[in-house]
Structure 1
């Protein structure tokens, strides 16, 4: 049973029956409903008071900087999108219609991802001042401030699920049996843009944050977000382009890519039922996300804002579980023989090749994903919340200096990565066990678990956006000087909650990425087997060339192991490049802020005005310049391995990237989140409070953690999905050039060599940009980060 051929052999096409067509239309309408709810939430947020004129002026500067950065970023990314469009069009496809659709919906996926990110950022930079204004009244302002911040995130959440589901439903309605292949383009467009937004936005925000903290807090001894610090506006801009825009695009592409994998495997396993049921589950998620977002209404007896947010999350998760179970029993047949004739689970006579109830299979698979989301939420909260032992222990180590703070944070990150990886691995294995030994069924179970996890994604995006909105609100309050006493404490509390919600959403995003990548792994195998079948090669003729082409994936083969090592190495190289980019850009900010303190009279006395725009310009220039190298690595590495070594080593490459990616991403995210909240703990008055040596130690720890949790860590999620999608797209071409009539070793070697040279050239060029910075400029121009 385990060796079942995933490639369709019946020759039947999968089409939508009248009932299924109606369901897909309803799915599309629910997606539109989500966008309508987003519009309602926008109006509610914008109705709130904007505070004083000074607060509005500061918020306006942040709005202007964020919009300018994203506009320039989208212009830069447009070049990559055009190139990718034509490359996709040139790749093999079953029909011209499929090739055109795949390329067009690549653009649609990229545009939808951009819209999701932009809308989340657009409202966030308008909500921050409203949250700060709500807190001005003191403790009684905590409830409305929490509500405004979360409803702002709800808009991004509704756009994420609305556009993701609308895109998938539209493709299914137009292309029917060709929908899975067309959706590969849709998912690739979303993933590629999200990765660039994650990397670019992450470099921007952390360069500004690191520069602001090192010069302002450590060297000058002034508070965070002090208006005398020239990097404060850039720091607040970065929170929005990195967290709001970047995370929204990231989770949108997770949504799209998971649906791609679920539909590809669903068609292979369940026929036309598998083309529709994976859309029903996220449709339910849209409805329960609406419930969850409106359920986050803080109560006077809540311990803090986290209690209200947790309540909304779990209400949404429980509602999703119940409704998905009902949907499975209503929509799916009670035995596998009731599936369509195109199902891979039926033999030639239409009899089932596996026993069991498809309804229970679907229910348990979806529940695995929902339970995983809740478990990751709790686990990440434990390692990053200020009132839990890990963060409290890091806070205590501040009494012995920054070295012990860094060591303690790294330890927390490494330990938490093991537990998170174990949870995700347990979920994948549980889904595998549901397959009853049939590979296609096991892979479809993993994909359904991913869609189950995605039923919570609307609330998850809202939780994530809550973080930067709260952070920016505190920044606006501190820079304006118009929020005091209890009001300032309310914003500090919300910011700490926001740090936890950001860490939680990063953890769930990582789990989503792994489930999606695992399901795509199965789709890749399906694509390879189909391509080998089309060449007419007899798989029983075992030879080196056939082993290179067939996805036998036997880890004992040295070539597979080499691929696995290369895949893990790609994750490490990608992380190193991202962190190094932050270090270079941050160096430029440090010396620019120092220059301004030195050369502009009266800054420390409050009579001189810093040149905020120059810091924003440096962050924008350096972050966009650093985009290319990580992006080139993500796209070219699978091409080099696939064409150079074959599809089986490429499978090893993907496995290595997934394994190393999940551990690295959790380690980076949780270390950074724990350091950040340890700093908040000290700033709340523990271990000497603000201005103490312990505070300086935690600031340094937080500075190290900034590029961990907001640049390299989050960017790994789209990285592993981009590499999986590239492998999926190139698999037929690799097989054709490896075996059969189109065999061409010279062309294979040329493509692999060219891809390798491009990677080497990009990395060498990146290394030429000196990380050392100079403080010699007195002309108002920072020489840091300009070389190269």
Structure 2
């Protein structure tokens, strides 16, 4: 087992020039983002009353994110020093990994903040455009807002990765582990915190306003309306943008780690070139999003997506054959990989690197298109699943809940099969070589990343159009024709949000699968570096066998973490929403003239409540994600930790799709009834779908999306600790006492965090309003 070391790749000459070009493309993407932002800010702002309402939303969103970032800074500092303590090849790599952890976290936070800050200004401008100039200008403002976030995501992701490669050359993959971990950790916290905020306000506003008081969704008499609109931005804009950014960063991390092993020198550069082409095609997608006369807005947006994806497929195919050779013998820096494949019983690489890379990237692009269509079918108002859910509203809320659960469960199977087929197809491209097969899976993720710019634009369009309709309704300054335009755009945005959640899940699974491959590869190298005797080496790799009881235990623990994480997130929304319900009821009861329009609700109190509760609740899921792999790895070993990751990826895929699509079906079934079907607004059927929608809110906007960064954080933590796990648990120099102590401490931290979370009751009693008031 001696003599095997990681490959040393050379980033110089033409490769160095290409990395510099990628960096310039990244800067160009950021320049395009700035241009799109200026276009949005140049649009009209509407009436003074509309400005006043928008200002309240802006202040609430800024206050929440400021307090959240102060909280998350503590986690970032602790993680920075923990990373410094982990082993690395040299001091420069260890320091670089920790520094770029902070860079990744800062970029993730910046994407979330920048997306939110423009969205809370664009919502006003979309409402004004719909009222003053018509649908097409309003749609353009909304989509340009999303384009700004999309190009900023692409630009910062490429910039961070290219700078690391330029500075650290062959050590770049190890430094990028820190960059990806920082991005994923911040994104998970922003996803969980923002999701709790937005859905607590939304559920509380719907239950008291729509169901109890029978007033419209964004009626200014409802004290939770401002908090609801703030939540759309901190959850769907800031949270989703950070989520997709970290998917972008993490996929690049995995691709660069695996690429350097599989394709040598060119493998460290090619994964940067693919998303660089995606940055260029994203710009094309934005400009192709032009409505035709009488065309539905969703058709326009989908066409822009498909056209940009097709352009990316062609561009990446040309790139593959122009940059990569037709034979593995022509690749430099692969000697170590061939030795690894041979040593552990895998076939040597064969076939054409150019063809393998092109096919893998195209699989990822096709996967994005298929997921878009599949998710649209299960959550769109024009298709049978949502129509069936809407029809069950005639028999009450129980049947609405049952039908929505059925849609979510069924759709999860089909979506998982599609994602699994993509992963299997990419792996098969390796023709028996483990290193090439894993790299092909990572390249499939890179192919999916070529669509990220347009995906983020589609997603951000949703909350912006939703907020625009809310501002119009609260202000009462928009004409009937303008209100109808905003209703149409809101419906389009609702579907694009559901669709992009499906694609975000696919990116998460591909990134996690690639990271899982990186984990296996790192385990192989760590075993080699540990200079184990043959018996110990056999024991390590024997522990990966699926029929090993310890691996099965690890797999079950991985599945359990996904369920526990989902339950904690949903329960957190329930608790916070209960506090909102009681506060809004109190205001209706105690403030004279609210229903008559002569009394003004205390909007700020509800914003304070959901801010406090969301920040208090986000710590426990975060601790679970970080500590669970540490407990399993140091307690059970490297093989069971692989089983843990496999269980988390499998269960996470099914759970995330189930939660997202069930929630999306309930949401659009409600909109179907509100459009006049089955009795329309105010009917019993409408009340039934509102209840379904409130159940689905934490499904689709809190727990479901938060699973995406969860599985990537756990994979990254495992990747970072795999060397330490092997050195402490295997061989003559093993220190099982210390490893068990670490595992017990990690498990104890999880138990204390969960116990502390469970102490906060989900049941709100009659005395709760006074407690809430005192705490606020």
Conservation of the 8 A alpha-carbon contact between 1:672 and 1:708: yes
Distance of aligned partners of 1:177 and 1:158 in 2 relative to their CA distance in 1, 3 Å threshold: same
Distance of aligned partners of 1:205 and 1:353 in 2 relative to their CA distance in 1, 3 Å threshold: same
Give the Cα separation in 1 of the matches to 2:7 and 2:57.
56
Residue in structure 2 matching 1:272, options 265, 277, 286 = 265
Residue in structure 2 matching 1:210, options 171, 187, 203 = 203
Give the Cα separation in 1 of the matches to 2:580 and 2:262.
54
SS in 2 for 1:625: helix
Query: What corresponds to 1:512 in structure 2?
Result: 507
Q: Does 1:339 align with 2:331?
A: yes
SS in 2 for 1:136: helix
SS in 2 for 1:15: coil
Query: What corresponds to 1:553 in structure 2?
Result: 544
Deviation at 1:570, TM superposition (A): 0.3
The 5-angstrom pairing of residues 130-169 of structure 1 reads 130-137=125-132, 141-169=134-162
Deviation at 1:528, TM superposition (A): 1.2
Q: Does 1:421 align with 2:412?
A: no
SS in 2 for 1:108: helix
Query: What corresponds to 2:353 in structure 1?
Result: 358
Query: What corresponds to 2:474 in structure 1?
Result: 479
Gaps of at least 5 residues in structure 1 are: none
Deviation at 1:355, TM superposition (A): 2.7
Residue in structure 2 matching 1:86, options 68, 71, 81 = 81
SS in 2 for 1:553: coil
Offset from partner CA, 1:716-766 (integer Å, 9 cap, x none) = 000000000000001111111112343111101100000000000000000
Give the Cα separation in 2 of the matches to 1:219 and 1:117.
34
Give the Cα separation in 2 of the matches to 1:26 and 1:428.
30
Residue in structure 2 matching 1:522, options 504, 517, 522 = 517
Q: Which deviates further from its counterpart, 692-701 or 334-343? A: 334-343
Give the Cα separation in 1 of the matches to 2:14 and 2:733.
43
Query: What corresponds to 2:376 in structure 1?
Result: 381
Conservation of the 8 A alpha-carbon contact between 1:24 and 1:276: yes
Distance of aligned partners of 1:594 and 1:512 in 2 relative to their CA distance in 1, 3 Å threshold: same
Conservation of the 8 A alpha-carbon contact between 1:217 and 1:224: yes
Offset from partner CA, 1:627-671 (integer Å, 9 cap, x none) = 110000000000000000000000000000000000000000001
Conservation of the 8 A alpha-carbon contact between 2:125 and 2:141: yes
Conservation of the 8 A alpha-carbon contact between 1:45 and 1:148: yes
Give the Cα separation in 2 of the matches to 1:597 and 1:500.
33
Conservation of the 8 A alpha-carbon contact between 1:270 and 1:343: no
SS in 2 for 1:609: coil
Deviation at 1:778, TM superposition (A): 6.5
The 5-angstrom pairing of residues 631-650 of structure 1 reads 631-650=622-641
Q: Aligned residue pairs: how many?
A: 771
Residue in structure 2 matching 1:253, options 238, 246, 258 = 246
Give the Cα separation in 1 of the matches to 2:739 and 2:5.
32
Conservation of the 8 A alpha-carbon contact between 1:595 and 1:778: yes
Gaps of at least 5 residues in structure 2 are: none
Query: What corresponds to 1:755 in structure 2?
Result: 746
Q: Does 1:685 align with 2:676?
A: yes
Offset from partner CA, 1:431-458 (integer Å, 9 cap, x none) = 1110101111111000000000000000
Query: What corresponds to 1:390 in structure 2?
Result: 385
Conservation of the 8 A alpha-carbon contact between 2:6 and 2:336: no
Residue in structure 2 matching 1:241, options 234, 249, 270 = 234
Offset from partner CA, 1:99-134 (integer Å, 9 cap, x none) = 000000000000000010111000000000111111
Distance of aligned partners of 1:340 and 1:777 in 2 relative to their CA distance in 1, 3 Å threshold: closer
Give the Cα separation in 2 of the matches to 1:733 and 1:385.
48
Distance of aligned partners of 1:343 and 1:186 in 2 relative to their CA distance in 1, 3 Å threshold: farther
Q: Which deviates further from its counterpart, 449-458 or 437-446? A: 437-446
Residue in structure 1 matching 2:188, options 192, 195, 215 = 195
Offset from partner CA, 1:698-721 (integer Å, 9 cap, x none) = 000000000000000000000000
Offset from partner CA, 1:591-629 (integer Å, 9 cap, x none) = 000000000000000000000000000010000000110
Deviation at 1:418, TM superposition (A): 0.3
Query: What corresponds to 1:231 in structure 2?
Result: 224
Give the Cα separation in 1 of the matches to 2:171 and 2:769.
62
The 5-angstrom pairing of residues 278-289 of structure 1 reads 278-289=271-282
Give the Cα separation in 2 of the matches to 1:289 and 1:649.
41
Provide the TM-score with structure 1 as the length reference: 0.96
Q: Does 1:581 align with 2:576?
A: no
Q: Which deviates further from its counterpart, 531-540 or 746-755? A: 531-540
Deviation at 1:315, TM superposition (A): 1.2
Deviation at 1:484, TM superposition (A): 3.3
Query: What corresponds to 1:615 in structure 2?
Result: 606
Conservation of the 8 A alpha-carbon contact between 1:337 and 1:346: no
Distance of aligned partners of 1:11 and 1:300 in 2 relative to their CA distance in 1, 3 Å threshold: closer
Conservation of the 8 A alpha-carbon contact between 1:345 and 1:354: no
Q: Does 1:308 align with 2:300?
A: yes
Distance of aligned partners of 1:26 and 1:343 in 2 relative to their CA distance in 1, 3 Å threshold: farther
Give the Cα separation in 2 of the matches to 1:278 and 1:727.
22
